């Protein structure tokens, strides 16, 4: 507390000394963004029949589910009273963006992701159930809801319903992450957040991060399974990433130019913050390393012919940098929005703990958890084109 | 690092206890209780506060009384009310020098020299008990609310501790009470005003700079005060319906 | 079995699960929503009572005057007439409830007066302020001023 008091620059309202939203709240938009982005990529194949990205369809869906399961955990961990969080379902306040999130989350998780995955994997589930014994059989039978019907007609119906769900799912994905942007963008008290562009920027940055994640996962999975990467697939994903990134960056620059040109009462305060406390995370990490460099790399592949091996390295590098950049963007929104005083006369400092409830350690665990869940999901529902390996035993 | 770990364990332990305690607390909440204080007409009042900058001497009585009356932690970042000192060069109102050492709890040691051409004054701050409170708007569960008599209150047994309201308040009037892990703020001494008393800060203000007023009471002197002075609220551009009315508030005040 | 339903039966099973979950949610919600929620607005009406039942620390000048009417009279017409007693004497609701339970401590006349009257450029010019090095003889203020009626006639 004492050291925090000494780190205050200028004047802040006394109650503003400590940041209320920690790194965990940085994770939450980062993770939901990955979910929404991965789903939107998967939907391309389904709705717009983009054949080239087909090899990533199921992987993208499972990735989205794995991250979706983890998405509310940082929120829960951050609450002063996690045991009261169900009140959001009991007495949701309709004027609160946060209250509606509970319902949007449930809708997206259950009505979109779980249903779509179930329909898509139902054939595999039934076949696995038929080919197994004992507990495993019981598990897969339960997952198939004790139905054994995988007739041509039933699968065709599944496909139709699945397509319908995907079509509903795309606006849902936009809603899910646009909503997260709205939670910040609608806070009129905070000039760093308050912007109608916020939900749009969040949606496009979500697409960018989700596409980058699936691109990386696809390479990693093929490397791990020692199978060949389909370059046409990778090239297509990289191209989409570039397009989404250009829109995302343009929107962010629009916001920036608008702020600089209008230079309203908050501008000097925010400008000073960007050039000092946020310089590394905003200018260096987010804009330069995390946006300009990957955009440049991805554009390079489009402009000159690059050999396959080099392309794979470029895609890998730009994917990692993209994720770093989007994480930095979430950080700059959430943490940056709390470093300056609402009096616009001073600044406080964010002191992150390590093994504390809202420290770095739980944040890292929460970032790795989706991969563990994805590992289990992949064991349960192998997304590979050749189907369940166990079935061939 | 070691203390970090210890704190982690402490919190983990607290959680185990909390879940048990939560079920007990929940029974209390679900049971519900008669809400009316005896002899108090909930619909007969509309509370507001007037603050006269010309009268504030920065003694800190209000800050101390508030903490004593409401059991507010003596930490330097837990205030339901606090006092700011402004030092403004008249030609540069956009860059006032402001401080509020320990919220004004210990008074203000002389800091500026007389006769340097500056404008100096104290500004007491507190919850504005807004009629269109952004904090109430964002609360996901209805744990903070505008009471029918015009006071923004917190339901401590229902608050999740999500801190969205802290972010939404333009005036920095909310903080998290580390003892309860719920939000805390000025209650306009609801336990006093419903008994016909004034708030602790008004009771102890030696110059009458702060005055509680009831806008629904036609005989309340607040009506004359609002009529006879140049009145301003904080950050009017936020359109929060703030009900802390300031007399002679300088344009430099944020 | 009905031919239309035959290949949609698994979907029907899923729909039943969703419908069941929805009904369960509505039932749980109906049971769990606290009493009195929504009576006066989107909050638990009992919270008004919770807030109103906080104990008092400051009794208020009315309570002081009920017993100490002599002091009230002595303050008549003075500049200090309208100052709340507890502004200087501290929170005394315990004393007001039962005078034997707690006796107020007399404020230190050397510091309590300066809380307000110490010179400070930020204070309004019209407010009486002193520099203790120049004003008086260094003794307690009460040797010249009566705190309940400070004017020296």
Mean pLDDT in chain C?
Answer: 94
Choose the closest CB to A99 out of B103, B141, B167: B141
Q: What is the C-alpha to C-alpha distance for residues C85 and C124, in angstroms, rounded to an integer? A: 23
Choose the closest CB to B139 out of A81, A93, A342: A93
More confident residue, B38 or C134: C134
Work out the pLDDT band at C1, boundaries 50, 70, 90: low
User: Same domain, yes or no, for C14 and C77?
Assistant: no
Average pLDDT over residues C109-134: 94
Shortest Cα distance from A343 to chain B (angstroms)? 5
DSSP annotation of B229 = S
C20 part of a folded domain: yes
C99 part of a folded domain: yes
More confident residue, B33 or B104: B104
pLDDT over threshold 90, residue A1: no
Inter-chain residue contact C57 with B113, CB threshold 8 Å: no
pLDDT over threshold 50, residue A390: no
The whole-number pLDDT of residue B33 equals 45
Mean pLDDT in chain A?
Answer: 93
User: If contacts are CB pairs under 8 Å, which of residues 24-83 in chain B contact chain A?
Assistant: 75-79, 82
Domain ranges of chain A: 20-334+352-384
Choose the closest CB to C58 out of B120, B148, B200: B200
Average pLDDT over residues C105-134: 94
More confident residue, B25 or A224: A224
Q: What is the C-alpha to C-alpha distance for residues B118 and B111, in angstroms, rounded to an integer? A: 12
Domain that holds residue C23: 3-52
Among the residue ranges A49-53, A120-124, A193-197, A259-263, the one predicted with the least confidence is A49-53
A269 Cβ under 8 Å from any chain B Cβ? no
Work out the pLDDT band at B7, boundaries 50, 70, 90: low
pLDDT over threshold 60, residue B16: no
Among C32, C52, C72, residue at a domain's last position: C52
Chain C neighbours (≥3 Cβ pairs under 8 A) are A, B
Inter-chain residue contact C9 with A147, CB threshold 8 Å: yes
- Candidates B160, B186, B155; CA nearest to B173 is B186
User: Same domain, yes or no, for C97 and C47?
Assistant: no
pLDDT over threshold 70, residue A388: no
The whole-number pLDDT of residue B20 equals 58
User: Same domain, yes or no, for C30 and C101?
Assistant: no
Contacts of C8 in chain A (CB under 8 A): 154, 157
Tracing tokens 């708007």 back to the chain, one arrives at B137
Give residue-wise pLDDT tens across range B42-90: 999 999 999 999 999 999 999 999 999 999 999 999 999 999 999 999 8
Average pLDDT over residues A368-380: 97
The pLDDT > 90 percentage for chain A reads: 88
Q: What is the C-alpha to C-alpha distance for residues B210 and C89, in angstroms, rounded to an integer? A: 19
Give residue-wise pLDDT tens across range B120-147: 999 999 999 999 999 999 999 999 999 9
Shortest Cα distance from A313 to chain C (angstroms)? 44
Side-chain half-sphere of B164: how many Cα atoms within 13 Å?
29
Q: Is A151 helix (H, G, I), strand (E, B) or coil?
A: coil
Average pLDDT over residues A363-373: 97
Average pLDDT over residues C130-150: 92
Chain A neighbours (≥3 Cβ pairs under 8 A) are B, C
Contacts of A359 in chain B (CB under 8 A): 4, 8
Structure-block tokens of residue C33: 């929503």
DSSP per residue, A259-328: HHHH--TTHHHHHHHHHTTTIIIIIIIIIIIIIIHHHHHHHHHHHS---HHHHHHHHHHHHHHHHHHHHH
Rounded to 5 degrees, what are φ and ψ at A292? -65, -45
Q: CB neighbours (10 Å) of residue A48?
A: 8
Q: Is B57 helix (H, G, I), strand (E, B) or coil?
A: coil
User: Same domain, yes or no, for C68 and C138?
Assistant: yes
Q: What is the C-alpha to C-alpha distance for residues C84 and C96, in angstroms, rounded to an integer? A: 14
Mean pLDDT in chain B?
Answer: 90
More confident residue, C5 or A233: A233
A140: enclosing H helix or E strand: helix A134-143
Average pLDDT over residues A310-337: 97
Interface residues on C facing A, Cβ-Cβ cutoff 8 A: 6-11, 13-14, 17-18, 21, 25, 29, 32-34, 37-38, 42
Contacts of C34 in chain A (CB under 8 A): 91
Q: What is the C-alpha to C-alpha distance for residues C65 and C111, in angstroms, rounded to an integer? A: 25
B9 Cβ under 8 Å from any chain A Cβ? no
Contacts of B78 in chain A (CB under 8 A): 15
Contacts of B34 in chain C (CB under 8 A): 46, 49
C82 part of a folded domain: yes
- Candidates A75, A349, C50; CA nearest to B187 is C50
Among the residue ranges A93-102, A210-219, A360-369, B46-55, the one predicted with the least confidence is A93-102
C149 part of a folded domain: no
More confident residue, A46 or B50: B50
CA nearest to A110 within chain C = C18
Choose the closest CB to C50 out of B65, B155, B200: B155
Burial readout A241-256 (b: 16 or more C-beta within 10 A, e: otherwise): bbebbebbbebbeebe
The whole-number pLDDT of residue B27 equals 54
Q: How far separated are the first and last CA of chain A, in Å rounded?
A: 62
Q: Residues near A178 by Cβ (< 8 Å), separated by ≥ 6?
A: A199, A200, A202, A203
Q: Do A92 and B140 meet the contact criterion of CB atoms below 8 Å apart?
A: yes
- Candidates A282, A215, A269; CA nearest to A56 is A215
Inter-chain residue contact A122 with C32, CB threshold 8 Å: no
User: Domain total for chain C?
Assistant: 2
Give residue-wise pLDDT tens across range B178-219: 999 999 999 999 999 999 999 999 999 999 999 999 999 999
Determine the residue among C3, C4, C11 to mutate to test chain A binding: the one whose Cβ has the most chain A Cβ atoms within 10 Å: C11
The whole-number pLDDT of residue A109 equals 92
pLDDT over threshold 70, residue B36: no
Work out the pLDDT band at C138, boundaries 50, 70, 90: confident
Q: Do B154 and B184 meet the contact criterion of CB atoms below 8 Å apart?
A: yes
Q: What angle separates helix A308-334 from helix A293-303, to the nearest 10 degrees?
A: 150
Inter-chain residue contact B140 with A98, CB threshold 8 Å: yes
Task: Quote the pTM value.
Answer: 0.91
B145 Cβ under 8 Å from any chain A Cβ? no
Contacts of B198 in chain C (CB under 8 A): 60
Q: Do A323 and B233 meet the contact criterion of CB atoms below 8 Å apart?
A: no
For chain B, count helices (H), then strands (E): 7, 11
Q: Is A167 helix (H, G, I), strand (E, B) or coil?
A: helix
Bridge-based pairing state of the strands B97-99 and B81-88: antiparallel
User: Same domain, yes or no, for C43 and C83?
Assistant: no
Tracing tokens 């699945």 back to the chain, one arrives at A162
B125 Cβ under 8 Å from any chain A Cβ? yes
Contacts of C9 in chain A (CB under 8 A): 147, 149
pLDDT over threshold 50, residue A281: yes
- Candidates B244, B99, B226, B104; CA nearest to B171 is B244
C22 part of a folded domain: yes
Determine the residue among B26, B160, B253, B254 to mutate to test chain A binding: the one whose Cβ has the most chain A Cβ atoms within 10 Å: B160
User: Same domain, yes or no, for C47 and C70?
Assistant: no
The whole-number pLDDT of residue B32 equals 46
User: Same domain, yes or no, for C45 and C101?
Assistant: no
Choose the closest CB to A15 out of B15, B77, B238: B77
Average pLDDT over residues A302-322: 95
Inter-chain residue contact A91 with C42, CB threshold 8 Å: yes
The whole-number pLDDT of residue B239 equals 96
The whole-number pLDDT of residue A393 equals 35
Give residue-wise pLDDT tens across range C42-59: 999 999 999 999 999 999
C17 part of a folded domain: yes
User: Same domain, yes or no, for C27 and C73?
Assistant: no
Q: What is the C-alpha to C-alpha distance for residues A288 and A64, in angstroms, rounded to an integer? A: 28
């Amino acid at each position: 507390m004492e050291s925090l008091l000494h780190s205050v620059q200028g004047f802040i309202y006394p109650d503003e000394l400590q940041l209320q939203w920690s790194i965990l709240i940085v994770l939450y938009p980062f993770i939901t963004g990955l979910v929404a982005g991965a789903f939107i990529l998967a939907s391309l194949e389904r709705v717009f029949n983009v054949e080239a990205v087909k090899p990533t369809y199921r992987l993208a869906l499972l990735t989205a589910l794995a991250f979706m399961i983890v998405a509310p955990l940082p929120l829960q961990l951050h609450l002063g009273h996690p045991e009261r969080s169900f009140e959001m379902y009991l007495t949701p306040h309709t004027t609160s963006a946060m209250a509606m999130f509970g319902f949007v989350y449930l809708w997206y998780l259950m009505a979109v992701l779980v249903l779509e995955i179930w329909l898509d994997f139902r054939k595999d589930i039934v076949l696995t159930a038929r080919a197994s014994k004992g507990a495993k059989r019981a598990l897969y039978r339960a997952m198939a809801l004790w139905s054994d019907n995988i007739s041509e007609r039933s699968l065709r119906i599944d496909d139709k319903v699945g397509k319908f769900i995907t079509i509903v799912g795309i606006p849902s994905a936009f809603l899910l992450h646009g909503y997260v942007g709205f939670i910040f963008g609608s806070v009129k008290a905070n000039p760093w957040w308050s912007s109608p562009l916020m939900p749009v920027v969040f949606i496009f940055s979500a697409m960018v991060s989700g596409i980058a994640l699936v691109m990386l996962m696809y390479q990693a999975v093929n490397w791990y399974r020692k199978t060949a990467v389909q370059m046409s697939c990778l090239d297509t994903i990289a191209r989409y990433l570039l397009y989404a990134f250009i829109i995302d960056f343009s929107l962010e620059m629009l916001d920036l130019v608008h702020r600089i040109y209008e230079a309203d009462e908050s501008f000097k305060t925010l400008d000073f913050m960007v050039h000092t406390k946020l310089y590394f995370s905003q200018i260096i990490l987010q804009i330069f390393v995390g946006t300009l460099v990957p955009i440049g790399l991805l554009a390079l592949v489009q402009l000159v012919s690059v050999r396959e091996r080099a392309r794979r390295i470029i895609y890998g590098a730009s994917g990692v940098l993209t994720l770093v950049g989007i994480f930095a963007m979430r950080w700059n929104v959430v943490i940056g929005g709390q470093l300056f005083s609402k009096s616009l006369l001073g600044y406080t400092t964010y002191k992150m703990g390590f093994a504390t409830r809202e420290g770095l350690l739980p944040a890292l665990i929460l970032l790795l958890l989706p991969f563990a869940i994805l590992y289990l999901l992949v064991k349960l529902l192998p997304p590979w084109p050749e189907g369940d390996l166990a079935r061939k035993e | 690092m070691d203390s970090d770990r210890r704190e982690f364990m402490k919190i983990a332990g607290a959680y185990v206890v909390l879940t048990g305690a939560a079920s007990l607390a929940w029974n209390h909440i679900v049971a519900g209780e008669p809400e009316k204080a005896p002899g108090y007409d909930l619909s007969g009042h509309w509370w507001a506060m007037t603050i006269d900058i010309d009268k504030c001497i920065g003694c800190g009585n209000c800050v101390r009384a508030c903490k004593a009356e409401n059991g507010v932690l003596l930490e330097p970042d837990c205030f339901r009310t606090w006092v700011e000192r402004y030092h403004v060069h008249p030609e540069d109102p956009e860059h006032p020098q402001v401080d509020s050492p320990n919220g004004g709890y210990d008074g203000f040691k002389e800091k500026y020299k007389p006769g340097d051409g500056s404008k100096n004054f104290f500004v007491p701050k507190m919850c504005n008990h807004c009629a269109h409170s952004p904090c109430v708007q964002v609360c996901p569960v209805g744990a903070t609310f505008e009471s029918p008599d015009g006071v923004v209150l917190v339901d401590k047994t229902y608050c999740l501790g999500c801190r969205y309201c802290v972010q939404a308040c333009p005036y920095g009037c909310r903080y998290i009470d580390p003892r309860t892990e719920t939000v805390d703020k000025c209650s306009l001494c609801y336990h006093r005003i419903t008994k016909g008393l004034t708030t602790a800060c008004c009771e102890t203000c030696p110059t009458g700079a702060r005055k509680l007023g009831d806008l629904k009471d036609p005989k309340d002197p607040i009506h004359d005060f609002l009529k006879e002075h140049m009145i301003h609220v904080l950050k009017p551009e936020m359109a929060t319906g703030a009900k802390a009315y300031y007399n002679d508030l300088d344009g430099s005040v944020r | 079995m009905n031919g239309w339903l035959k290949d949609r039966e698994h979907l029907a099973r899923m729909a039943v699960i969703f419908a069941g979950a929805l009904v369960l949610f509505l039932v749980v919600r109906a049971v769990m929503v606290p009493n009195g929620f929504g009576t006066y607005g989107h909050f638990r009406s009992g919270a008004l009572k919770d807030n109103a039942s906080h104990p008092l620390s400051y009794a208020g000048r009315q309570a002081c005057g009920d017993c100490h009417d002599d002091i009230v009279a002595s303050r008549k017409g003075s500049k200090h007439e309208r100052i709340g007693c507890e502004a200087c004497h501290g929170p005394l609701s315990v004393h007001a409830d039962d005078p034997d339970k707690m006796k107020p401590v007399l404020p230190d006349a050397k510091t309590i007066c300066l809380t307000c009257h110490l010179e400070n450029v930020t204070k309004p010019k019209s407010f009486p302020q002193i520099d203790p090095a120049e004003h008086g003889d260094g003794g307690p203020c009460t040797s010249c001023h009566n705190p309940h009626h400070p004017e020296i006639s």
